[in-house]
Structure 1
Amino acid sequence: MDRVSRFFYALEKTRGAKKHVTCLLAEDGTPLTEPVEMCGRAGAFYTSLFSPDPTDPGACRVLWEELPMVKTSDRDRLELPLTLAEFSEVRRRMPTNKSPGMDGLTVEFYRVFWDVLSPDLVTIWPESLQSGVLPLLCR
């Protein structure tokens, strides 16, 4: 048993070493190898990448004016609470051997335990829409 554990430990150590970042390039192309410099460069890169760009108000106006509008009657219908029948229809149409969430629970699991889970799903969904936050396990 120990030999198998040692083998997998060594394998993971080798794989981990391959994933280790040893160098980043500065904006001017200079290689950075010091961990502090690399962290600073990575932080600056992602700060720049995810910072909002200035927008042109005229372009925004054109964009918004060109968008199609949903009719009031359709909007009212779309904003109705989801029903158990709608949840059931979605569950029925889901492909097998798939896991719709990060918890790893498959579609087959939901099909087997649907009678137990469905009342909670129908309750949680409107509360999440109202608060704007999904429960941690649903994210």
Structure 2
Amino acid sequence: MDHGSRFFYALEKRRGVKKHVTCLLVEDSTPLTDAAEMCGRARSFDAGLFSPDLTDPNACRVLWDRLPMVSAGDRDRLELLLTQAEFLEAFRRMPTNKSPGMDGLTMEFYHVFWDVLGPDLVTVWAESLQRRVLPLSCR
């Protein structure tokens, strides 16, 4: 029994060595080979990559001023409470044999069990809209 495990462990170890980073080229094409220097440079690169960019307030104002406005009538209609019929219609328009969430439940499942699930789902979504926060299971 241990022989097979030992074989695959050794195989994976050899593959791991091949995937090991031995050199990192920095912006000016200078190679780094010290592990600590490579880690530090990679961390600083990632930090800069995912940091927020400064935004010009004037550019934002121009962008916001040019966006179209929703009329008062449309706004009132859009802010009405959600209905089970609206959700059922949205579900009918979704592609079949697909899962809209991470639970793996397909649209066919929701169609079959809509009478049981529909009222609870509409309640959860309506409360989420009112609170402006989705439950953790829906994020």
With normalisation by structure 2, the TM-score equals: 0.74
Q: Deviations over 1:4-53 (max 9, x none)?
A: x99x9999889888877665443443445665544433432232122222
Structure index of larger Rg = 2
Cα pair distance change 1:98/1:23, threshold 3 Å: farther
Do structure 1's residue 102 and structure 2's residue 102 form an aligned pair? Answer: yes
Which letter does structure 1 place at the counterpart of 2:128? S
- Mind listing any 5+ residue stretches in structure 1 that lack a counterpart? none
- Which range moved further: 88-97 or 124-133? 124-133
TM-score (norm 1): 0.74
Establish whether residue 26 from structure 1 lines up as the match of residue 42 from structure 2.
no
Local SS of the residue matching 1:74: helix
RMSD: 3.3
Report whether the alignment pairs 1:72 with 2:72: yes
Structure 2: state its 5+ residue gaps. Answer: none
Q: Which residue of 2 aligns with 1:125?
A: 125
Alignment-mate amino acid for residue 109 of structure 1: F
- State the identity as a percent: 76
Q: Which moved more, 1:39-48 or 1:27-36?
A: 27-36
Whether 2:22 is the aligned partner of 1:56: answer: no
Q: Matched residue pairs, number?
A: 138
- In 1, the alpha carbon distance for the partners of 2:20 and 2:35 equals 11
> In structure 2, what is the Cα distance between the partners aligned to 1:65 and 1:31?
49
Change (3 A) 1:90 1:65: same
Q: Is the 8 A contact 1:103 1:137 kept in 2?
A: no
Q: In the alignment, which residue of structure 1 is the partner of 2:43?
A: 43
Aligned-residue offset at 1:67: 0.9
